[in-house]
């Protein structure tokens, strides 16, 4: 009986088998990559707000401390979005007639909330707490990026679980020396950060990696 | 349609259903029907989940501030004066006051440079008025506002207001201290011409 398939089919069959595995792998990498990409995490996406508030102006140029507006960041789970009254502390005098700020004045007059668009949104099954991070020495800019250089607010970090765990496994690489450092937007890790961080972790009784990466630390 | 293609179609539909169902479950967990701080709520007319105080009610815990209330005319100071309180006051002063009053209390803060009404200096050696006002007066100004300054009671809790007042008193003292009252080691650091003051 004559051969049905030519000798070259051996190669083609092997090649297509390999390609199938390769393509499935590539697809998997593609899906995982997509889930981590800004397309899905909303990283670096600037949101339109009712008033285009500039952190660059207020923090970078004017030198306001984060806590002037985000008053509850040291004592509660949420940093707090300031009430319209906080805007009016200055803007009842400064730019008091600017059309740009009319939504602020309207909110102040009518006692209706300004509906700011949330930029850093965690799923409801994550119980993040600002105060514990701030009080143990994790700086604002570690997660929020250089807010003092952001004319419009965007999410500088992916906020993926693996990103959280990255720090929970090695907290010493981000721990800062003083409260002042924590709120310093231009903080850079000193050269002996690895040594200092370990020391801060012991002094401040930071929990062990096993505890910090336990499910119930963040999911309750 | 052959039976093979029909079963393939059924399998695809089943997979799609599982997939879509799976996505649905994921979203339910991420968007739970509960309110988080400052989240919007369609339940109330004003769209807020955080409710304002009802008329004639007080917030839990606000009674505690009663102990810290000092009348405008009184010079009493309701907390023990400690270095920690002064440190706290310094930190809070930098955050909430220095934008207008300036880091030295002279009224030359950054926001004033931007056009805010200039507050009077409370450390001015030539104008003792604000150095002589009672503590209760300062507490009243921080709590209820004065002139162009709105109330800071929502941003600064009562204990912090007193910490700030303690620090302001320290600033006033330090900006107006005669050289003769300085400890000798500090006095030696003064430029020679100034020690006579």
Tell me the C-alpha distance between A175 and A172, whole Å.
Answer: 5
Q: How far is A105 from chain B (nearest CA, A)?
A: 15
Q: What is the dihedral of CA A75, A76, A78, A83, to 10 degrees?
A: -70
Query: Given CB atoms, is A40 within the 8 Å cutoff of chain B?
Result: no
| Averaged pLDDT, A187-211 | 94
* Portion 151-210 of A in contact with B at CB < 8 A: 179
Question: Scanning every residue of chain B, which has its alpha carbon at the shortest distance from the alpha carbon of A118?
Answer: B39
pLDDT band at residue B21 using 50, 70 and 90 as cut-offs? low
Query: Given CB atoms, is B77 within the 8 Å cutoff of chain A?
Result: no
B47 to chain A: which residues are within 8 Å by CB? 113, 115
Q: Are B162 and B77 in contact (CB under 8 A)?
A: yes
Token couple for B186: 């500090």
Decide if A68 and B99 are in contact by the 8 Å CB cutoff. yes
Q: In this predicted model, what pLDDT tens digit does every residue of B70-115 receive, in sequence order?
A: 999 999 999 999 999 999 999 999 999 999 999 999 999 999 999 9
Decide if A85 and B154 are in contact by the 8 Å CB cutoff. yes
- Give the pLDDT of residue B1: 52
Tell me the C-alpha distance between B37 and B49, whole Å.
Answer: 8
Q: Where are the domains of chain B?
A: 82-176
pLDDT band at residue B9 using 50, 70 and 90 as cut-offs? confident
Note the ipTM here.
Answer: 0.87
Query: Given CB atoms, is A129 within the 8 Å cutoff of chain B?
Result: no
3-state DSSP assignment of residue B20:
helix
Q: In this predicted model, what pLDDT tens digit does every residue of B151-164 receive, in sequence order?
A: 999 999 999 999 99
* Portion 121-140 of B in contact with A at CB < 8 A: none
Q: Which fold has domain B82-176?
A: Cytochrome Bc1 Complex; Chain D, domain 2 (1.10.760)
Q: Per mean pLDDT, which of A2-6, B31-35, B193-197 is the most reliable?
A: B31-35
| Averaged pLDDT, A134-155 | 96
Tell me the C-alpha distance between A85 and A179, whole Å.
Answer: 26
pLDDT at B26 over 60: no
| Averaged pLDDT, A33-60 | 93
Decide if B114 and A123 are in contact by the 8 Å CB cutoff. no
pLDDT band at residue A1 using 50, 70 and 90 as cut-offs? low
Please count the CA atoms within 13 angstroms of the CA of A106 that sit on its side-chain side: 11
């Amino acid at each position: 009986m004559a051969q049905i398939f030519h000798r070259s089919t051996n190669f083609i069959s092997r090649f297509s088998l390999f390609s199938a595995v390769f393509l499935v792998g590539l697809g998997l990498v593609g899906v995982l990559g997509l889930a981590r990409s800004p397309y899905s995490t909303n990283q670096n996406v600037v949101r339109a707000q009712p008033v285009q508030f500039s952190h660059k102006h207020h923090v970078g140029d004017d030198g306001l401390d984060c806590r002037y507006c985000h008053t509850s960041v040291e004592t509660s789970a949420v940093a707090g979005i300031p009430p319209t009254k906080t805007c009016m502390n200055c803007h009842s005098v400064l730019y008091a007639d600017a059309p740009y700020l009319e939504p602020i004045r309207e909110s102040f007059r009518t006692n209706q909330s300004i509906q700011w668009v949330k930029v850093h949104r965690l799923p409801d099954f994550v119980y993040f707490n600002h105060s514990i991070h701030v009080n143990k020495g994790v700086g604002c800019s570690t997660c929020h990026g250089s807010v003092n250089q952001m004319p419009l607010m965007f999410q500088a970090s992916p906020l993926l679980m693996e990103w959280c765990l990255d720090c929970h496994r090695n907290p010493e690489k981000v721990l800062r020396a003083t409260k002042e450092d924590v709120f310093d937007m231009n903080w850079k890790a000193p050269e002996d950060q690895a040594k200092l961080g370990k020391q801060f972790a012991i002094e401040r009784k930071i929990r062990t990696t096993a505890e910090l990466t336990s499910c119930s630390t963040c999911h309750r | 349609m052959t039976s093979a293609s029909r079963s393939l179609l059924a399998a695809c539909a089943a997979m799609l259903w599982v997939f879509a169902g799976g996505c649905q479950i994921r979203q339910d967990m991420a968007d739970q029907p509960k309110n988080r701080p400052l989240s919007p709520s369609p339940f109330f007319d004003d769209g807020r989940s955080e409710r304002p105080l009802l008329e004639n009610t007080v917030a839990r815990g606000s009674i505690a501030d009663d102990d810290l209330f000092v009348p405008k005319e009184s010079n009493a100071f309701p907390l023990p004066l400690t270095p920690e309180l002064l440190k706290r006051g310094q930190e809070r002063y930098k955050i909430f006051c220095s934008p207008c009053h300036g880091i030295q209390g002279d009224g030359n803060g950054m926001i004033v440079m931007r056009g805010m009404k200039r507050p009077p200096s409370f450390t001015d050696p030539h104008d003792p008025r604000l150095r002589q006002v009672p503590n209760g007066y300062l507490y009243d100004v921080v709590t209820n506002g004065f002139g162009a300054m709105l109330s800071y009671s929502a941003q600064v809790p009562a204990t912090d207001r007193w910490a700030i007042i303690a620090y302001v008193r320290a600033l006033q003292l330090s900006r107006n201290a005669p050289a003769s009252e300085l400890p000798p080691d500090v006095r030696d650091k003064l430029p020679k011409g100034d020690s006579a003051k």
